[in-house]
Structure 1
Amino acid sequence: MSESMAWLTRDIRKARKQGPAEVARRRGDRLADLVACARSASPYYRELYRGLPERVDDPTLLPVTDKKHLMDRFDDWATDRDITFEKVRAFTDDPELIGRRFLGRYLVATTSGTSGRRGLFVLDDRYMNVSSAVSSRVLASWLGPLGIARAVVHGGRFAQLVATEGHYVGFAGYSRMSQEGGGRSKLLRAFSVHEPLSRLVDRLNAYRPAFVIGYASTIMLLTAEQEAGRLHIDPVLVEPAGETMTDSDTDRIARAFGAKVRTMYSATECTYLSHGCAEGWYHVNDDWAVLEPVDEDHRPTPPGEFSHTVLISNLANRVQPFLRYDLGDSVMLRPDPCPCGTSSPAIRVQGRAGDTLTFPSGRGDDVRLTPLAFSSLFDRMPGVELFQIEQTAPATLRVRMVKAPGADADHVWRKAHDGLTHLLADNKLDNVTVERAEEPPKQASGGKYRTIIPLPA
């Protein structure tokens, strides 16, 4: 059976029309196929899956994997035995090779290492084709016929806000498309999130995109520019990704641009993992991915409760299989059908489990605060465009901010300091010191702003 782009696009649409039972059948068959492939060609998985049933279509039967273990066993992980860590590392050390085919066959992508460990990932054409086919279906469902027509009138141009200084999956994929040509490459342009904001605004004004896709924090800065009248673009769709957003964030973006706003929850390990809906939930693309919210012992978390972490299985990438891979996020599975009408599982994302801040209470125990506690505080605080809180000592927080245009920096700081002080006091953490930073939020090499930075373990 051929899995061309055309076949994948038809099959994805067909599965959705046939309903959840047919989606589940496809998912089970694809999981069983990938497990068999991993066992056959990957020494790591052959060892890990020793003793399992011959056919595995239930993900809960599989042991858990994570970035650390896979990177430690890199040479044994890949199903293509020509792939080694040294070859991939040498490839990623050369910026001239971004988007080029590694070994003449694969895309190589790195993670920025904000979670504490850099990832080197090899992605095959099957994965890239599935990602494109899923994205096309989702885009069509977001826009509808009228939205598609409006996008065509606007020129159909995509502005992709990415980190352009490394082999990050967004820029590597864009570079591949640009190098190999095709119709889609003429409608897509990458814009560096590292360039000065004024220059980025000028370039976007000249490009006039119909679609704006990129890091949520950069899009929020552009939203302020649009509100101030310096940016004046008229996109059909704005798609923030890579960072958690609140409903008020997306409402503000929609008002500023007069555009539909849809978010995505994904990762380099599974770029097509889920897509946002009008109700503010992420729907898992569950014909090609498995998502399992679990507790600390990797047991299922009940719907309606936030998990300790989440396990994902990418059912497309055969060259380096991601199976029951611990992504490190805290998610909640919706316990009832989503009002948007989409039948696939719906989730909310709380943030990285590792980004939870832990403080000594002074009473012999620890107090933990989640990223949501801080984001919800700053979300309702006027004058703040971007914030970052770093725990520089067990009982010290350093706060970095970018103020909104026209806001008084000292007034914004007093509000932020008062809000944080009250939040800490409410949690009996009067012993924690809050410091004002003169420097702006630190941007990771991959382009993201990590809003919460815990004390290193």
Structure 2
Amino acid sequence: MTAQHPAPPFDTWLWMQAWSETWCAGLDPAGAGQRLRAQRLARLIDATLSGSPFYRRRHPGAHELADFRPVSKAELMAHFDDWATDRRITRAAAQAFVADPACIADGWLGNYLLWTSSGTSGEPGVFVQDARSLAAYDAIDALRLRGAGPGQVSLGSWGARQRFAFVGATGGHFAGVVSMERLRRLVPAALAPEIRVLSVLEPLCDVAQALQAQQPSVLITYPSCAAALARLQEAGQLRLALKEVWTGGEQLSAEQRQQIQAAFGCPVRNNYGASEFFTIAWECAHGELHLNDDWLVLEPVDERLRPLPVGEMSHSTLLTNLANLTQPLLRYQLGDRVRRVAERCSCGSAFPLIEVQGRADDTLRLRDAQHRPVTILPLALETAIEEGAHVTQFQALCGSDGDSIELRFEASVGDARAAFTQSRRALADFLAHHGVSGTRISMSAAEPLRQRASGKLRRVVMLPAAPVRRKPPARAPARR
């Protein structure tokens, strides 16, 4: 690798250790898995209190995980320079690095990989992955992520004769594209599959055309994108012979899964992950999500951040990453709604089951100048505004006829009028790039609409058509 592009971090010894420990934990989650979890937690607490000034000041005398108060992304980013255990790591240096898209997947400071999160919670994050955490993510992906049972290796789709297509956010140092580029660089050419990365911001017809030319064996993308491509496959506008579809990053509904499987005639493998921990839970062959609780601690909590019993849907979730000793995350407010399931899965794995209630944004149906339908994916629209306007706390409400989009902003946005000006410009450019014509963009001072059950904000909403009010039948004149 040239000096301009340092190789991504990879430690052979840590990789072999993570692989063997993850294998052993898969054979005996309740025994070996829990022993490894306890060892990793003790090591994390020791490394955190000895190396992180932020945590040391915040938790003097802490010994157990329960001694640590929940912490938010905003608080950690505000104290970024005192957060990491490697004192060379500063916010200014990290943000300067991720500001350059040419550095995606480059090694940073000789030991680290950087990726960023979106600002859906109000604060974009910059996350430092050390070689130990990357080794853990690699082992989980290889041994669990593709639906393998206890002790099985799930590399059946990986190899030199396979073709992978990744359709996702590509304009920055996002976890998905950074991980794909890292694999591309690390795996020897003789063993590596063909990997093509496509931007979800491109028009769906262009994405479909690129996929048609590549003919991938595995498609990796968001559920909304996979479902939109499935509709093209059903309509005969796309002809792919996929072996698997891997989804993540959004809520996968039962209807989407059925549509994708029926259209492509292959299994759908879903996972639950985050920028803070790449694969929190993996989906088994029975379609259930299993928590990687040998590598992390996930605490479902109520609105006051108090732990909930098994079986209750949480208001939020606290994450502790047991793999990363460089940028510690202990009882970090992840924000997702999760329910722990008491029953053991029929697949045979003893890893705990969870249910995740993610945000389900709507795919928009707009029109071009010839009144032909144009599909707009929700995550693409969100990314266009986040990256183009640097605004994160917004909601886009689309009229049922597709002729109008109303932008609303949360109270935390200081100057809503300035945010609207920037967002309207970014959104108009994005829609024009997709060939959308005649859609009005307006601003409303009203509060964003929220889901009734959870109070969570849906970012992109297609409003239902107003019910048609029929005039009552004319009454016959009364007889005299």
TM bin, normalised by shorter chain, reads 0.7 to 0.9
Q: Which has the higher helix share?
A: 1
Contact map agreement 2:212 2:239 (CA 8 A) in 1: yes
| TM-score for the superposition, normalised by structure 2 | 0.71
Identical columns (%): 35
Partner in structure 1 of residue 123 of structure 2: 117
Q: Which residue of 2 aligns with 1:237?
A: 244
1:45-84 Cα distance to aligned partner (Å, 9 max, x none): 112231223xx3xx33322112011101100001110111
Report the Cα distance in structure 2 between the residues aligned to 1:197 and 1:63, rounded to whole angstroms: 44
The question of whether the paired residues in 2 share the 8 Å contact of 1:264 and 1:276 is answered with yes
2:357 matched to which residue of 1? 350
1:162 to 135, 151, 168: 168
2:66 matched to which residue of 1? 60
What letter matches 2:398 in structure 1?
A: R
On the 8 A contact 1:124/1:317 being kept in 2, the answer is yes
Structure 1 stretch displaced more, 335-344 or 181-190 = 181-190
Q: Deviations over 1:11-32 (max 9, x none)?
A: 2112221341221111011011
User: What TM-score, normalized to structure 1?
Assistant: 0.74
Aligned mate of 2:398, from 397, 400, 408: 400
Distance 1:271 1:177 in 2: 14
Instruction: Evaluate the alpha carbon distance shift between residue 148 and residue 45 of structure 1 in structure 2; reply closer, same or farther with a 3 A threshold.
Output: closer
2:113 corresponds to which letter in structure 1?
L
* Corresponding residue for residue 31 of structure 2: 21
Residue of structure 2 in register with 1:175 after alignment: 181
**Which amino acid letter does the alignment assign opposite residue 324 of structure 1?**
R
Aligned pair partner of 1:188 in 174, 195, 199? 195
- Asked whether the 8 Å contact 2:396–2:460 carries over to 1, the reply is no
Partner of 1:445: none
Distance of 1:253 and 1:17 partners within structure 2: 32
Contact 1:387 1:451 in 2 (8 A): no
Aligned equivalent of 2:466: none
1:453 CA displacement? 2.7
2:52 matched to 1:42?
Answer: yes
* SS of residue paired to 1:68: helix
Q: How many residues align?
A: 379
Counterpart CA distance in 2 for 1:143 and 1:231 is 33
For residues 187 and 78 of structure 2, what CA distance do their matches in structure 1 show?
36
1:79 partner letter: T
Preserved contact between residue 167 and residue 197 of structure 2 (Cα < 8 Å): yes
Residue 123 of structure 1 deviates from its aligned partner by 0.9
Q: How far, CA to CA, are the matches of 1:38 and 1:148 in structure 2?
A: 33
> CA offsets per residue over residues 331-381 of structure 1, 9 Å max, x none?
1111222233321111111135xxxxxxxxxxxxxxxxxx6xx88xx9xxx
Equivalent-residue separation in structure 2 for 1:2 and 1:92 (angstroms): 26
Residues in 1 aligned to 2:326 and 2:216: alpha-carbon distance in whole angstroms: 35
Tell me which structure has the larger Cα radius of gyration. 2
RMSD (Å) for aligned C-alpha atoms? 3.4
- Alignment partner of 1:76 out of 59, 71, 82: 82
Q: Distance in 1 between matches of 2:236 and 2:151?
A: 30
Q: CA deviation at 1:278?
A: 4.3
Report the CA distance shift for 1:283/1:384 in structure 2 as closer, same or farther (over 3 A): farther
Residues 105, 124 of structure 1: 8 Å contact kept: yes
Contact 1:154–1:210 at 8 Å: present in 2 too?
no
Asked if 1 retains the 8 angstrom alpha-carbon contact of 2:52 and 2:85, the reply is yes
SS of 1:4's equivalent in the other structure is: helix
Q: 1:2 to 1:181 in 2, by over 3 A?
A: closer
Contact 1:282–1:346 (CA<8 Å) still a contact in 2?
A: yes
After TM superposition, give the deviation of residue 304 of structure 1 in Å: 2.1
Change (3 A) 1:186 1:293: same
Cα offset, 1:149, TM superposition: 9.5
1:316 to 310, 323, 326: 323
Distance 1:335 1:386 in 2: 39
Alignment of structure 1 residues 38-437 onto 2, 5 Å? 38-53=48-63, 56=64, 59-139=65-145, 141-142=147-148, 151=157, 155-180=161-186, 182-183=188-189, 185-351=192-358, 399-400=397-398
Closer, same or farther: CA 340–179 of 1 in aligned 2, 3 Å: closer
